[in-house]
Amino acid sequence: MKKRKTVEEGRVESLPSRIVSQVLDALFSRRLKPGEFLGTEAQLIETYQASRVPVREALGRLEALGVVSIKSGVGGGASIATGESSQLSTALAVQFMLLGVMAEEVFDARIAVEVRAAELAAMNAEAGDIKRLNSILVDLRRTRREGREAIEAILAYHLAIVEVSRARTLITLMQALSQALLNLYLDASDPAGSVGAETGYRSLGEVLKRIESRDAAGASRAMHEHLLRQRDSVVRRLKATRPEGEDA
């Protein structure tokens, strides 16, 4: 089959790329649905009027993107994958690292996610959610943790607040940001001072109080103030500990 030029790129598009594009277009237009069976290799060869090699290459690319799942053997074939937030959050975390996203950018994204999440949490929290958040916060204040363990515990609490928002996109973004934030806190040298300070726990307690009282605007404001302090503290220490000229 002949290759064709795409309008957008003005260059030759390979057959595997065209197959990938067609599957993605069908998925985004909802002509394909999660879990739907695409076909066996033989069926896909017939569908796309292609040989085995480009079909396999296209399927490999789609599988790497998390778009399809492939089962081999009798009864096997390719199906549209079902949603998996952990796969997306891991991919995002890796891209943050590969792109060299700076500390300020990570915190700005965090603020956007968590401020909105706190607002939604105040709207959507149920009694069990409030009880769980209170329990976690009490444990954080009572249990002495240091270094990585302390950072992971506090980030898990922040994620728990985001989960109460019931917003799947925000939850996935926070999962991705948590890995980047963990690395930033570790690089900032004084993790206990940044995530274990009593003032930090008090401000998180204020966020929780606003969520519990259904004060969406207050929860949003309290979280924004808390995260701005965290941003300023971590960025300042990173600039002090990293060599001159190295991005924070």
Report the pLDDT value the prediction gives residue 104, as an integer from 0 to 100: 93
User: Is-contact 218 73, C-beta < 8 A?
Assistant: no
Task: Name the token pair of 242.
Answer: 């990293």
Given 3-state DSSP classes, what are the helix, strand and coil percentages for the chain, each rounded to the nearest 5? 70, 5, 25
Q: Which residue has the tokens 């969520």?
A: 211
User: Is-contact 52 44, C-beta < 8 A?
Assistant: no
Report the pLDDT value the prediction gives residue 190, as an integer from 0 to 100: 57
Report the pLDDT value the prediction gives residue 247, as an integer from 0 to 100: 52
Give dist(CA 240, CA 248) in Å, integer: 10
Helix (H) or strand (E) holding 27: helix 15-28
- pLDDT truncated to tens, each residue of the chain (248 aa)? 444 444 444 455 799 999 999 999 999 999 999 999 999 999 999 999 999 999 999 999 998 888 899 998 887 899 998 877 677 777 777 787 788 888 899 999 999 999 999 999 999 999 999 999 999 999 998 888 888 898 999 999 999 999 999 999 999 999 989 988 998 888 886 544 444 467 889 999 999 999 999 999 999 999 999 999 999 989 988 888 765 545 54
Report the pLDDT value the prediction gives residue 93, as an integer from 0 to 100: 76
Report the pLDDT value the prediction gives residue 12, as an integer from 0 to 100: 55
Report the pLDDT value the prediction gives residue 24, as an integer from 0 to 100: 93
Give dist(CA 215, CA 119) in Å, integer: 8
Reduced to 3 states, what is the DSSP secondary structure of residue 115?
Answer: helix
Give dist(CA 68, CA 61) in Å, integer: 9
Report the pLDDT value the prediction gives residue 26, as an integer from 0 to 100: 93
Task: Name the token pair of 10.
Answer: 């003005």
Picking from 150, 170, 157, the residue whose alpha carbon sits closest to that of residue 203 is 157
| Domain boundaries along the sequence of the chain | 4-80, 85-241
Picking from 206, 153, 165, 175, the residue whose alpha carbon sits closest to that of residue 109 is 175
The torsion angles phi and psi of 38, rounded to 5 degrees, stand at: -85, -40
Give dist(CA 203, CA 40) in Å, integer: 56
- Superfamily classification of domain 85-241: GntR ligand-binding domain-like (1.20.120.530)
Largest Cα–Cα separation, the chain: 68
Picking from 75, 66, 67, 39, the residue whose alpha carbon sits closest to that of residue 55 is 39
- pTM for this model (two decimals): 0.73
4-80 classified as CATH 1.10.3470.10: no
